[in-house]
């Protein structure tokens, strides 16, 4: 295959870059070793920062966040819920930090307004009665899956290509240029090579590994953050703890749920990460100081992401990784010791600034290509596409209730996702030459994300996919295992009370009756 620009990684940055280039008339191919938002783009709060969180620790990032926040609300309103946000402090919090907060915001041109404590509790009744300060800010929420899928869909609309489950395994480098990139299709095991004029490493936490394949050294640190999903929405706004960033201090609403996080734990590798029990306990205990109901609410799921931080693997005790700049790193490897003229790495940064990162990267790529077309993503709104619409909580049930015919059965009863929606998602996956497995459909919809966590919808979905001939031979057994394993990762640290009873039912059916744990040994 040939293209102008090869983009490695389909997180929001890679997807945003593909779209940015497409709007400048440049062809690209995105290769992704798993599926969209596999890394930090999928493992975050879905928070569109006002910037206020960084005003003390990282004012430059704070100002960038502020600008991008305002821009994205205009350019991708369908991905954003302009919830507004509060910064609150409770008795015992650092009063010096509180006292300096408003000034620090002002210096970054971030609007804040002090809120009367009674008003704050009226606005957000779940807040603690031990509040000592509250400020209103411009936080919002963003659906990172919708954002990524819409960017990819728009890039494809303009001729871009997207290859899932395609892992870069090596580069042919001659005369200081990457001539060919070798890519393995992890579903078929076949390899192919892609010739591109410029190769962009947008692999996020895996950027160091990709750079290594090209002989470039990129010192990275991996900071894991764990987040919890509550069963119901705990507040209307984003609620931040007004203190220096630490565990469990942001509660972000997302549709019908809320997301509480996060932690910062150094990990050695971005590949095998789990939300851990001690993180869950720390997040809940800290969060409950701000919103007491968090101590007793039911949690549906835990997940985690790895923040890719540039700057080497210093000693782990050398302070909190949150103190490392959340700015991004754009590296022209032609100017590095390895001197590879057509190789660029973009990593670090935040969901909020993904567009800016993509734009700066595209500017550099254009200089290398000799293209002068300016970026237009700050001018052209992101189209709302069908590919991404079913990630939105509440949309599937609304559509189903409005239009449903008796034959359109619900596959997922918790989140009310009917067969017709599954078929639409299968159609869009097949258009991208992908295989419509259970996990891929789960990623593009709310299936498996309700209280049953896949107990029932997994087998219903498998049966439906067989009936419609989307699955063949004994694929279903492996699909069920993979889907349930993925759900389990997020359930396992949260299993007490009702969730534990639910998990027992899940195991009774899928192990006790279906014996899926025994299949493992039988089938390679």
Partner 1 sequence: MIPCEGGFQTRPYTVGIEAMHCAMNSKVNQIACDLIIIGTGMAGMAAALFAARKGLDAALVGITGELGFASGPLDLLGVHPVAQGRILEDPWQGIVDLCRDEPLHPFAKLEIDAIRKALAAYLDFLQAGGYPHAVHGRRNMTLITAAGTRKPTYAVPHTMQHGPVALAAQAPCLLVDIQGLKGFSARQMALSLEAYWPDLRPVQIAFPDAAKGELYAEHLARALDAAPVREKLVAAIRPHLGDAQCVGLPAMLGFYQTVRVMEDLQQGLGVPVFEIPTMLPSVTGVRLRELFEQRLPPLGIRPFWQQRVLDVQRLNDGRWSLGVGYAEVEHRVIARGAILCSGRFFGRGLHARRNGIQETVFDLPVVQPMDRATWHHKDLFDPHGHPINRAGIAVDEQFRPVDAQCNPIYPNLFAAGSILAYQDWMRQKCGSGLAIATAYGAVTSCGAFLT
- E strand or H helix at 200, and its extent? strand 191-201
**Contact region for partner 1 (CB under 8 A) — 44-52, 220-228, 318-326, 511-519?**
511-519
Residue 116 engages partner 1 in binding (rule: CB under 8 A): no
Strand 2-8 relative to strand 28-31, pairing? parallel
Alpha-carbon dihedral 16, 229, 254, 413, rounded to 10 degrees? 100
Residue 521 φ then ψ, to 5°: -75, -30
Specify the residue, 265 or 387, whose C-beta has the smaller distance to partner 1: 265
Residue 37 engages partner 1 in binding (rule: CB under 8 A): no
3 bridge partner residues: 196
Specify the residue, 358 or 447, whose C-beta has the smaller distance to partner 1: 447
Contact criterion met (CB below 8 Å) for 326 and 54: yes
Question: Which listed residue (45, 346, 507, 524) binds partner 1 by CB under 8 A?
Answer: 507
Question: Which listed residue (287, 305, 476, 490) binds partner 1 by CB under 8 A?
Answer: 476
Residue 411 CB, nearest approach to partner 1 (Å): 8
Specify the residue, 198 or 284, whose C-beta has the smaller distance to partner 1: 284
Nearest to 262 by CA among 240, 295, 233: 240
**Contact region for partner 1 (CB under 8 A) — 65-73, 136-144, 218-226, 490-498?**
490-498
Residue 60 CB, nearest approach to partner 1 (Å): 38
Distance, C-alpha 339 to centroid of its chain: 32
Contact criterion met (CB below 8 Å) for 30 and 194: no
Q: Is 337 left (phi over 0), alpha (psi -120 to 50) or beta?
A: alpha
Residue 481 CB, nearest approach to partner 1 (Å): 6
Residue 93 CB, nearest approach to partner 1 (Å): 24
Residue 401 engages partner 1 in binding (rule: CB under 8 A): no
Contact criterion met (CB below 8 Å) for 309 and 41: no
Residue 370 engages partner 1 in binding (rule: CB under 8 A): no
Distance CA 48, CA 301 (A): 21
Distance CA 197, CA 214 (A): 15
**Contact region for partner 1 (CB under 8 A) — 65-73, 115-123, 215-223, 274-282?**
274-282
**Contact region for partner 1 (CB under 8 A) — 21-29, 253-261, 384-392, 491-499?**
491-499
Question: Which listed residue (257, 389, 460, 490) binds partner 1 by CB under 8 A?
Answer: 460
**Contact region for partner 1 (CB under 8 A) — 186-194, 198-206, 306-314, 409-417?**
409-417
Question: Which listed residue (80, 352, 481, 490) binds partner 1 by CB under 8 A?
Answer: 481
The residue to which tokens 């000799």 are assigned: 370
> 10 Å Cβ neighbour count for 487?
24
Nearest to 396 by CA among 377, 379, 413, 375: 413
Residue 386 engages partner 1 in binding (rule: CB under 8 A): no
Number of amino acids touching partner 1 (CB under 8 A): 57
Residue 397 engages partner 1 in binding (rule: CB under 8 A): no
Residue 144 CB, nearest approach to partner 1 (Å): 25
> 10 Å Cβ neighbour count for 300?
22
Distance CA 419, CA 192 (A): 35
**Taking CB under 8 A as the criterion, which residues in 410-449 touch partner 1?**
410-411
Nearest to 20 by CA among 376, 357, 328: 376
Look up residue 116 and give its two tokens.
Answer: 């009367």
Residue 520 engages partner 1 in binding (rule: CB under 8 A): yes
Specify the residue, 371 or 477, whose C-beta has the smaller distance to partner 1: 477
Distance CA 454, CA 125 (A): 32
Residue 74 engages partner 1 in binding (rule: CB under 8 A): no
Specify the residue, 380 or 496, whose C-beta has the smaller distance to partner 1: 496
Residue 469 CB, nearest approach to partner 1 (Å): 8
**What angle (nearest 5°) sits at the alpha carbon of residue 496, between those of residues 520 and 37?**
60
Going 383 to 388 to 394 to 399, the CA torsion angle's sign is positive
Residue 508 CB, nearest approach to partner 1 (Å): 6
Residue 461 CB, nearest approach to partner 1 (Å): 9
Residue 282 CB, nearest approach to partner 1 (Å): 12
Distance, C-alpha 181 to centroid of its chain: 26
Look up residue 317 and give its two tokens.
Answer: 């005790």
Look up residue 503 and give its two tokens.
Answer: 């998990």
Question: Which listed residue (96, 337, 518, 524) binds partner 1 by CB under 8 A?
Answer: 518
Contact criterion met (CB below 8 Å) for 85 and 105: no
Question: Which listed residue (236, 274, 368, 435) binds partner 1 by CB under 8 A?
Answer: 274
Residue 294 CB, nearest approach to partner 1 (Å): 12
Distance, C-alpha 477 to centroid of its chain: 28
Q: Where on the chain is the footprint of partner 1 (CB under 8 A)?
A: 274, 276-278, 281, 284, 406-407, 409-411, 456, 459-460, 462-464, 466-467, 469, 471-474, 476-477, 480-481, 484-485, 488-489, 492, 495-497, 500-505, 507-521
């Amino acid at each position: 295959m040939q293209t102008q620009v090869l983009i490695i990684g389909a997180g929001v940055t890679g997807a945003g870059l593909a779209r940015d280039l497409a709007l400048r008339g440049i062809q690209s191919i995105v290769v992704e070793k798993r599926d969209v938002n596999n890394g930090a783009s999928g493992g975050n709060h879905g928070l569109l920062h006002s910037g206020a969180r960084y005003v003390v620790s990282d004012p430059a990032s704070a100002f960038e966040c502020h600008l991008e926040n305002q821009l994205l609300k205009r350019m991708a309103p369908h991905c954003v819920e302009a919830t507004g946000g509060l910064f609150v402090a409770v008795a015992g919090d650092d009063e010096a930090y509180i006292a300096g907060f408003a000034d620090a915001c002002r210096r970054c041109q971030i609007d804040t307004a002090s809120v009367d404590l009674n008003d704050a509790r009226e606005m957000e009744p779940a807040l603690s009665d031990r509040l000592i300060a509250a400020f209103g800010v411009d936080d919002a929420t963003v659906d990172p899956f919708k954002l990524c899928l819409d960017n990819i869909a728009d890039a494809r609309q303009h001729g871009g290509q997207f290859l899932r489950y395609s892992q870069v395994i090596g580069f042919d480098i001659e005369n200081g240029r990457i001539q060919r990139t070798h890519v393995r299709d992890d579903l078929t095991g076949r390899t192919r090579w892609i010739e591109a004029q410029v190769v962009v490493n947008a692999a996020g936490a895996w950027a160091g590994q990709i750079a290594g394949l090209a002989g470039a050294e990129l010192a990275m640190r991996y900071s894991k953050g764990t987040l919890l999903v509550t069963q119901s929405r705990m507040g209307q706004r984003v609620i931040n703890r007004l203190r220096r960033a630490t565990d469990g201090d942001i509660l972000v609403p997302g549709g019908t749920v809320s997301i509480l996080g996060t932690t910062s734990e150094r990990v050695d590798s971005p590949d095998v990460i789990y939300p851990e029990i001690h993180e869950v306990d720390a997040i809940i205990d800290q969060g409950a100081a701000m919103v007491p109901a968090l101590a007793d609410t039911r949690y549906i799921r835990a997940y985690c992401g790895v923040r890719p931080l540039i700057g080497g693997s210093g000693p782990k005790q050398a302070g909190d990784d949150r103190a490392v700049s959340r700015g991004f790193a754009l590296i022209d490897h032609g100017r590095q010791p390895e001197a590879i003229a057509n190789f660029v790495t973009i990593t670090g940064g935040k969901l909020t600034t993904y567009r800016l990162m993509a734009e700066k990267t595209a500017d550099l790529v254009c200089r290398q290509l000799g293209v002068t077309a300016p970026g237009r993503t700050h001018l052209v709104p992101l189209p709302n596409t069908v590919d991404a619409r079913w990630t939105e909580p509440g949309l599937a049930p609304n559509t189903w209730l409005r239009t449903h015919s008796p034959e359109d059965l619900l596959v997922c009863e918790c989140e009310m996702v009917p067969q017709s929606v599954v078929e639409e998602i299968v159609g869009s996956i097949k258009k991208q030459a992908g295989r419509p497995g259970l996990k891929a459909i789960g990623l593009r919809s709310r299936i498996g994300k309700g209280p049953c966590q896949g107990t029932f919808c997994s087998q219903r979905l498998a049966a439906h996919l067989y009936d419609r001939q989307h699955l063949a031979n004994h694929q279903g057994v492996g699909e069920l295992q993979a889907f349930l394993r993925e759900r389990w990762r997020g359930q396992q640290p949260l299993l007490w009370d009702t969730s534990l009873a639910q998990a027992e039912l899940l195991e009774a059916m899928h192990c006790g009756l279906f014996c899926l744990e025994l299949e493992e040994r039988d089938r390679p």
